[in-house]
Structure formats: structure tokens, C-alpha cells
Structure 1
Amino acid sequence: MSSIWTGVSGLLTYSQGIATTGNNLANVNTVGYKSSRMLFADMISTMAGGTSDGSQIGTGVQVGSIALQTEVGSLQDASNSTDLAITGERGYFVVKDAANDKTYYTRAGDFNFDKNGNLMSATGCNVQGWAVDQDAILKAKRNNVILSEVPTTGTVTDITIKDFTIDPQATGTMEVVTNLDSQSSVGELDATDPYFTMFKNYDATNDTPVADSDYQATIKIYDSNGVAHTATVYYSKTSDNSGKEYWEYMVTVPPEEDGSATTSGTTKAGVLMVGTLTFSAQGVLENQTAFTPNGSDPTSLSNWTQASLTSSGVPEFSATFKSASNGSALPSQTIAFKTGLSATDGSWNSGSAANAGAIGTNAALNIGYNPSSTLNAVYCTTNYATSSYTQTSSQDGYAKGEMTATNVDENGVIWGSFTNGQTKALYVLALADFTNPTDLYRNGNNLLSPTTESGKATVGRANSGVFDSIAGNTLESSNVDMASEMVNLIINQRAFQANSKVVTTAESLMETALQIKK
């Protein structure tokens, strides 16, 4: 009688094995599907009758375990920029079902934005991540701080782009790095203030306010409305003294666009900053002064006082532009002016001139920074014996833009590209990892959830810690090996047939036993 149940256990177990194999084969084209592996175990054995050595007879077979196989499926190119794949085994996308407010995990990265700007999985779940801290990025950029990763703010949340535009950003930093030809000759200088001759000759009422510069560099900067203004930095050689060269510089905008209550309407309209540059005999920029108007008569150099410095030791000025729509003054904006030289102590030399008028004819007063605290950037203004030219120029303002595309980098950062040429980090995808992912629970729709055996989810960022990187425009295929599954199917089929034979044989034996009784 027991032999019948032994055979039946085989029929039941191998039918489940065939079902497992069939499910794997059915999902051979399912994105991100992880195959299952069934392991068999014997059932409790009984003592063999009529023996004295403890011999046992087995009573059949049962399912030992069905484990999720975590090997990475092949990665296939995809046309959608939000089709994503995790390049290794460590990591699962985090999604949330709004219907039941439950969090699930998946390897299927076939995501897309819906009409409301939500990044959704193909099964209708919200993809999770962190919002990018835009203020931290802007602060780091303006202080020359290189971030090791895109900063985020808040907790893991739905990835939702509510506004597909980027607001205009007023310029907060402008960098103009030049080479000023050391072979330039010194022109006629002002007798009282030779180091500010160009400024004293500047006249906003003339068609060409500056007529005596040796070189000029232009750059577009933006006001708070996103309107571009052309800023021009003028340079003029003032002296070659004891092996050092001194140059005057002046940062300006068109006089008619100057809305400052101090300079607008005067002969100095459009002048934002004046100062001097000191070069060594080797053509290296070794010091700098910078002065901005203090609110009094801008035609007097004594009213141009030392500019404030950023925390990284770069001088800054205040710019007030007129509105393009009605000509009224816009809110003033502070702009840091970078030449490539900065003060590591973030302060001016205690012995430097407090205002531009105090320098007079004394070359020694052109020392603005503490000589022991200066830092030359990789790209820094120079004074070599070659034609003057602009090495590099940049600024951080821009006009309003419309989003044209998104892409995801290897670190899981979702970037937006805009019509104004800007790119902006929007969100950082969240990934999860488990101590024992083979025991994750399948919920259907490519969704997995943790169990006691799998352990709780550990959430982190792609390409950091234990987490693997993310490939954009890519999907992970099923990791089902069709050849292996076909072999398993044949083996399970043969085992099922053999166990059915056990049942029919046992039945025949029972019939024979019944015939003996008759």
C-alpha cells in the first residue's frame, strides 16, 4: 500500500517541477524576469519490517525548495531613454503601488513618464528616488567646490517632473581668463591716478565709452528675467616696474542697460568693477585689486571701495539691470568675477588700499591679496609675450528653457536637457539590496517583496557601496536558459512517467493479493 503513496508523491512533486520549468519557459521574453530553480528532497523513511539493523524504506519525494535565480540576464539596447537596466546582481529598482501604498522591488526597468510627469513602471507603479538639491549644486559651483556625487534632499519619494521648463537663472559667477601681451606698450597715463587711466577717461555719453584699452573680452551674462546682457572686460597696461607688470581692468555693461541708482545717468554708467592686476617677471598673475562703487559720486575714485570677497576669495560686484519690458530697475544681483587668482584666506591684505583713489602713483599699493595666501587656478590670467587672447570664459546664468529630453547616467541620476542649452540633474534613482534575494516573494507583474528569509531592503544609490551601476537606453532580458530548461523538462517528464509506472505496478500487486484472498 505504501508503494502507491510513494509513487503518488513522485507524481505530485514532478508535476510541480514541470510547472516550474513551464513557468520559466513562459517568461523567457519577460523583461527582468528571474528564473526559478526547484530542488527535491526525500520524505521521512520508515523502518523496514523484519530487520534488526535499523534498515529504512523511503516513502517518496517532496519539493525541497524553489529559489529565485539572481544571475543577470543579457542586456539589450532599447530606444527609450528611460528604459533602464542594472548592470550586476546587486540592486533592484524601488517602485510603489499607489492603489495599496505598498513598496515593491523589480529588475524590470521598462519605465516611462505618464501625462502627469510621473515616472511609472510598465505595470503602473511609481518609480522611487530622491529629489536633487539644486541649491547645494549652485552653491558648490559658485564656490569652486567639486562634488563627489549629485546631492539629494528629503526622503525617497515618487519621481515626478511637475514642470518641464527650467526657470531663468541670474548670473552669479563670471569667469574671464585671458593672456595679456607683455609686449604691449604703455600709453599716456593720468598724472594723478595712472593705474586707473582707462576708468578716468571712460565716458558713458560717448558712442564708444572706452577708447584706450589694449584688449577687451566679452561675455553674455543674464539678469533675473533671463535676458542676456553683454559684459565687456577692458584691459590696459599701466606700467612695467622693477620686473613686474601692472594692468588696469574694468568690468562694464552697456550704459543704457545699467539700472544702478549710483552709476546710472552718470558718465560712469555701465561700470561695475575696476581694479589692477600684478604680474611677475615670468608672466604669472601674482596679485589683484578690485573696487566697486560705495553709493556716492561714482566719478570720484575715492568712492570706489574694496569689493567684497566670496568665501573662496574671489571679488564680487553688484549689477542692477533695467527691465527689457518697461525699463524699470530689476533687483540687484551679486556676481563673482574670476580671473583665475583667489585668496585662500578669503580676505584682503590689511595694508592694501581701501579705495581706488588711495593707490595714486604708488605701485606698491596694488597689492590686494596677502602674497602668502594667493592661489592660481589651472586656468589663470597670464602675461606672456604673445598676442592678447581669451583663454576661457564662462558664466552660470541662463534664460528660461523647455525640456527636450531626459537621460539617466550610470549613477542613476536623471538629467533633463533644455532648449537653452542647459542640463539639469532632476532626480536620483533609489536601488535596494537584500541579504538573501533568492528568497524574495513573487507578487506577479515583475514585482518582488521581501520575506523573513530574504531580509529587509537596504536602500542606496547606483554605483556606490555594494550597488551596481545603471545602464540607460537598455533593458535586462530574462535570465532563463532555454537549453537547460528543456533538459529539465525532459528529466521531469521521464521521472513523472516512471512514478506513474510505480503506481500502476503497486495497483497490480494489490489486485493479485485480493485474488489470493478469494
Structure 2
Amino acid sequence: MMRSLFSGVSGLRNHQTRMDVIGNNIANVNTVGFKGSRVQFQDVLSQTITGAASAQGNRGGTNPMQVGLGMGLASIDTIFTDGSFQPTGKGTDLSIQGSGFFILGNGAQKIYTRAGNFDFDTDGNYLVPGTGYKVMGWMADNTGVINTAGDVSNIQIPVGAAMPAKASTEITYANNLSADAAIGTTINTSRDVYDSLGNSHEVKQTFVKTGTNTWLGYVQVPDATGAVTNSLREITFNTDGTLASVTNVAMTADPARRTLNFAAAADFKLDNTSVGTTSSHNFTVFGSDGMPHAFKVTFTNTGASSWTYSITDPSSSSTTPIDSGNLTWVGGAYRFGTLAADPTTKSFVAPDGTTYNLNLTNGTAPTAAAAIFNPVATTGAGTTGPVGFTTTGADPMSIALDMDITQFGGSSTVQATGQNGYAAGTLDTTSIDPSGIIVGKFTNGQSQNLAKVALATFNNPAGLNKVGENLFAESNNSGVAQVGESGTGGRGKFNPGTLEMANVDLANEFSNMIITQRGFQANSKIITVTDEMLQELANLKR
């Protein structure tokens, strides 16, 4: 039988295989994540009629004479180039740009795919809806931390997942306190914080300017059950407007904190130089509402050992004194009057209705250009640490105040810009970011990481076995799956809300189909011509 007949048969058979591969490529042109294949041919065994001979003497060498015995398949290769990416508008869809495969779980078995048409089922499993295979990755803990160094598992986001309440531990204050503000200027801001039960509580912060580059910050919590600890802070600024220090200070007990205690030091003296000499000083005291209030006290010399005093609100545009009167040095003391029997302490009522005291006890004799002691109505440095208070039924609150503020000219824009607590909430919606992290949006307005989709790569992805349903399985020649995060170790990145289409190039497939058809036709001619030759051979006996 003629060798060409079998060569033609092998050509027909293998071109048919190539046509089968082309047909499968074209059939899957709209299959999500499909990777096309190509067929490579090779020749097979050759029959040697005459072997090669080396040169000898005057004769040169001769080449071998061989007759090929047909052709065979060299390989059927899967092409893993990226397909185009089609936006779907569905947040659970994913595509991979670059290398890598999604890992799907089927019990103890792991399989792999490039098709990211995923969704959640009634139990919150992230899976392929058509097959039920579950997408694998890493689950976050209760605080949203994802350990990608651990083993992968099925991703499951329970329906109605709860986020427990988190007690606030910090409030951040930002922006500017005006350097142009008058002594006594009051700025108020507030922020809701949350206790361990998730209940909100308003924390009011009042800033009062008490001197050049110096402010007091006072915290109030209207619904606190008991006193607020560490509620008062002295805030100082550098001459370039930057924050210099924030120091806890402690208030004196009531009613002492409502006393302008001028004679708090032995060096309290008034100027006795000449008539008309004035000395003004600012004081901060605390009213019955617990808030700091600044006052300006001006002493004017009216003669030997005699003065007038005037108390005004430095933050008010009114020039009318809150209180005024006469003051003398008589009987070894400063007195509100002219006689040795007149008092050294006097009360006045401020516009807020609080009664304040002026205390001149233990002053020393006036001298020329004397200084006056200028205290704030506090006992000095207080307990360091955060603001503390208690609320009904919840754990005690401890809140640090982060003062990221400045003092420049212009308006005061200081405000509480943030805090780190929140109420309890339930899962409302989910989304997936480009790194593959599934983020949950909860009804309390918080977002938290819930899980992260893993990617697997192989040393030889072309060695994977196609097992149907857009799936691949490991083979002896694919290598072991190398599991990790997207964007690491040569792995690609995710495109949320898109699907990867088939990487089949129709123009190329149609061209290959024509070539394959012509090859098939040519091989069929081999059989036809060989048959005619055999027919002639059979007719020789006639």
C-alpha cells in the first residue's frame, strides 16, 4: 500500500482536529473568561531509504534519503492573553487584568477560573450562581483586619451581619482660633460621641481667650451622670501661631472658683505713682453654668492711696461697667471704701446672673509702678489624661482631645472635626474595591472590610486541565497554585463591576479556518490521486 495514502489520512485527521479547535474557539466567542486554543502540527516518523554517508577519498558525503510518513499534532495550546473587559454595572462581578485565577471551592477540592460572574446566595456565600462553586479568599476579623498570610477559605458575608458599637476614645479639633480675638472671646463647638452601648452623647467644648496667645478649653457633657473629669485645659500658642502646649488644669471648688482673688500672692500691689495712672488685668472665673468667663478689671489712681475700679466684659462691645466703685489703702489693707472698718471683699452680679466675689485680702502696700497678681481661678496643674465621664448603664468614657489647631489672624474656625466611635449597625450594602477587598456599608454609616478575594498563579498556566464550566484544574505540568493578594507576586489586579470576555480573535479564527479547510482539501487530493494510482496498478493484470 502506498505511504502517501496514510500521509493523506493523517493530514485529514489532524486538520479535522484543528477545525474542531477553531470551531470551539468561535463557539465560545461570547463566553465569559474563555481562553482560546491553537493547534500546532509536526511531522511524524520518516522512513529512511538511504542513510547519510561521510566523505571518503575523492568522493564527497551523501545526505540521507527519507520519506515522511505523515503529520501529527505537536500541541494544542491554551492562550492566556487578557480578553476585553465589559462593564456590567453589577458590583459583585469581577475581572482580572493580568495574570491569575479566581479560586473556587467545591468541598475539599479547589478549582480555578477566569470568569468572575459572581453573586451572593441566601446564606451570604460569594459564589458562581450557575454552579454553586464558592469563591475563596480571606475573611476579616471583627475589627476589619484581614490576615492574608493565613489559609484561604470560602467567602461568606452573613445577611444582616451586625457591627457592634464602639465607644469613642478620641475627639479631634482642627482649624483656627483667631489671634485677633479680644480677651474674653468665647468660641463654642460640639461633637457627638458614643458610649459602649452605642448611645450618643454631646460633648461641648468652649474656648475662652484669657490672655495673649492663651486660651482655656472647657468640656461639658450635659447628660453625663456625675462630674466630668479633666474637663479644663490651658492652650498656649507660639508667636508664629503654632500650638505650643495643651496643659490640664484643675478648677477650685465652688464657690471659690467664682472669686477674683486679687490677693492670691504677697506681691499684690497697686501703682501709687500719680493721679490718673491706670492698670488693667484680665481674669477668668467660672460661672454657675460651669463655663469659664473672662473679665477685665481696671484700677485708676485718684490720689494718695486711693483708686477707682471698673469691671467690664472684654468680649462685649458695651463700655458700661458690670461693677465699679472706690478703693483705698487704709489700716494696712485694700478696702472697698475709705475707712479701716470697710470690707476687703465685695460681691457683684454679672450679666449671666452669677454672683462673683472680689477678694483683696492680704495685699501689700502700694508702691510706684507696682505689679498686680493675675491669677486664673484654678489651682494650677491638674490630673493629666483624657476627659472622663460616666453615662447610664455603659462603661465609663475616656476621651483624648487631639488639638490640631492654630492661632492666626482672621476669623475663628475651630471645630470638632472627628471622633472614632459609632453606634451599632447592620450590614446594608457591599462593594468590592480594586484590591479585591469586600467592603460592607452598615446602617450606622460606618464601612468595614469584610473579606478579600484571593488570586492563584501557576508557573505554567497552559498546563492546566480544562474541566468544563469555565473551570481549570491543576495538572502534573501546571505547577502548584501560588495563592496571594492581587498586585503581588506577578498577580494581576481586579476590575470590579466588569467581566472579562473571551480572548478569541474572530478575524484570526476565520483566517485559520480557511487555511485549515485548504489543508484538508489538499490532503483529500492525496488520497484521491493515490487511489487512482492504485487503480492503475490493479489494472496491470488485465
Match of 2:188 in 1: 216
Distance in 2 separating the partners of 1:111 and 1:511: 63
CA 1:333 to 1:50, structure 2 compared with 1: closer, same or farther past 3 Å?
closer
Match of 1:282 in 2: 240
Match of 1:28 in 2: 29
Distance in 2 separating the partners of 1:504 and 1:511: 11
Distance in 2 separating the partners of 1:70 and 1:153: 27
Distance in 1 separating the partners of 2:144 and 2:505: 47
Q: Which amino acid aligns with 2:519?
A: A
Structure 2: 5+ residue runs without aligned partners? Answer: 53-61, 252-256, 258-376
DSSP 3-state at the match of 2:81: coil
Q: Paired residue for 2:401, among 337, 342, 347? A: 337
Residue 82 (structure 2) pairs with residue 72 (structure 1): yes
Distance in 2 separating the partners of 1:418 and 1:39: 55
Distance in 1 separating the partners of 2:237 and 2:35: 66
Q: Which amino acid aligns with 1:488?
A: N
Distance in 2 separating the partners of 1:455 and 1:302: 74
DSSP 3-state at the match of 2:408: coil
Displacement of 1:442 after TM fit? 0.7
Displacement of 1:152 after TM fit? 4.7
Distance in 2 separating the partners of 1:78 and 1:252: 52
Displacement of 1:302 after TM fit? 6.7
Check conservation: 1:275, 1:288, Cα contact below 8 A: yes
CA 1:463 to 1:134, structure 2 compared with 1: closer, same or farther past 3 Å?
farther
Distance in 2 separating the partners of 1:115 and 1:156: 22
For residues 165-216 of structure 1, give each alpha carbon's deviation from its aligned partner in whole angstroms, at most 9, with x where no partner exists: 33322212211224222233334xxxxxxxxxxxxxxxxxxxxxxxxx7111
Displacement of 1:411 after TM fit? 1.1
Q: Paired residue for 1:307, among 384, 387, 402? A: 384
Check conservation: 1:133, 1:153, Cα contact below 8 A: no
Residue 80 (structure 2) pairs with residue 10 (structure 1): no
Displacement of 1:305 after TM fit? 4.5
Match of 2:72 in 1: 62
Q: Which amino acid aligns with 1:426?
A: L
Residue 182 (structure 2) pairs with residue 174 (structure 1): no
DSSP 3-state at the match of 1:290: strand
Residue 61 (structure 2) pairs with residue 95 (structure 1): no
Displacement of 1:272 after TM fit? 5.3
Counting matched residue pairs gives 406
Which residues of 2 match residues 46-445 of structure 1 at below 5 A? 46-48=47-49, 53-88=63-98, 90-98=99-107, 101-122=108-129, 123-133=131-141, 135=143, 152=148, 154-162=150-158, 163-187=160-184, 214-240=186-212, 245-254=213-222, 257-259=223-225, 264=226, 269-270=227-228, 273-290=231-248, 305-308=382-385, 316-322=386-392, 329-340=393-404, 381-390=405-414, 393-445=417-469
DSSP 3-state at the match of 2:426: strand
Displacement of 1:109 after TM fit? 0.6
CA 1:134 to 1:466, structure 2 compared with 1: closer, same or farther past 3 Å?
farther
Distance in 2 separating the partners of 1:247 and 1:153: 50
CA 1:151 to 1:288, structure 2 compared with 1: closer, same or farther past 3 Å?
farther
Check conservation: 1:431, 1:461, Cα contact below 8 A: yes
DSSP 3-state at the match of 1:306: coil
Check conservation: 1:415, 1:424, Cα contact below 8 A: yes
Match of 1:501 in 2: 525
Whose radius of gyration is greater, 1 or 2?
Answer: 2
Relative to total residues, which structure has the larger strand share, 1 or 2?
2
Check conservation: 1:78, 1:474, Cα contact below 8 A: yes
Match of 1:485 in 2: 509
Q: Paired residue for 1:476, among 489, 500, 508? A: 500
CA 1:303 to 1:321, structure 2 compared with 1: closer, same or farther past 3 Å?
farther
Q: Which amino acid aligns with 1:318?
A: G
DSSP 3-state at the match of 1:417: strand
Distance in 1 separating the partners of 2:125 and 2:515: 47
Check conservation: 2:214, 2:236, Cα contact below 8 A: yes
Q: What CA RMSD, in Å, does the superposition of the two structures yield over aligned residues? A: 2.6
Distance in 2 separating the partners of 1:451 and 1:493: 33
For residues 464-494 of structure 1, give each alpha carbon's deviation from its aligned partner in whole angstroms, at most 9, with x where no partner exists: 3422221111111000011111121222122
Structure 1: 5+ residue runs without aligned partners? Answer: 138-149, 188-212, 294-298, 309-315, 323-328, 341-380
Identity of aligned residues (%): 35
Distance in 2 separating the partners of 1:45 and 1:489: 28
Displacement of 1:44 after TM fit? 1.2
Distance in 1 separating the partners of 2:538 and 2:50: 21
Displacement of 1:452 after TM fit? 3.0
Displacement of 1:91 after TM fit? 1.6
TM-score (norm 1): 0.73
Displacement of 1:53 after TM fit? 4.1
For residues 94-145 of structure 1, give each alpha carbon's deviation from its aligned partner in whole angstroms, at most 9, with x where no partner exists: 11112xx2111111010000110010024321111112355476xxxxxxxx
Deviates more, 1:41-50 or 1:169-178: 41-50
Check conservation: 1:170, 1:222, Cα contact below 8 A: yes
Distance in 2 separating the partners of 1:228 and 1:285: 30
Q: Which amino acid aligns with 1:467?
A: R
Check conservation: 1:119, 1:126, Cα contact below 8 A: yes
CA 1:291 to 1:24, structure 2 compared with 1: closer, same or farther past 3 Å?
farther
Distance in 2 separating the partners of 1:400 and 1:477: 41
DSSP 3-state at the match of 1:289: strand
Distance in 2 separating the partners of 1:151 and 1:290: 40
Distance in 2 separating the partners of 1:279 and 1:272: 20
CA 1:237 to 1:469, structure 2 compared with 1: closer, same or farther past 3 Å?
same
Match of 2:354 in 1: none
Q: Which amino acid aligns with 1:85?
A: S
Displacement of 1:59 after TM fit? 0.7
DSSP 3-state at the match of 2:414: strand
CA 1:506 to 1:49, structure 2 compared with 1: closer, same or farther past 3 Å?
farther
Check conservation: 1:251, 1:271, Cα contact below 8 A: no
Displacement of 1:32 after TM fit? 0.6
Displacement of 1:251 after TM fit? 2.2
Distance in 2 separating the partners of 1:159 and 1:50: 65
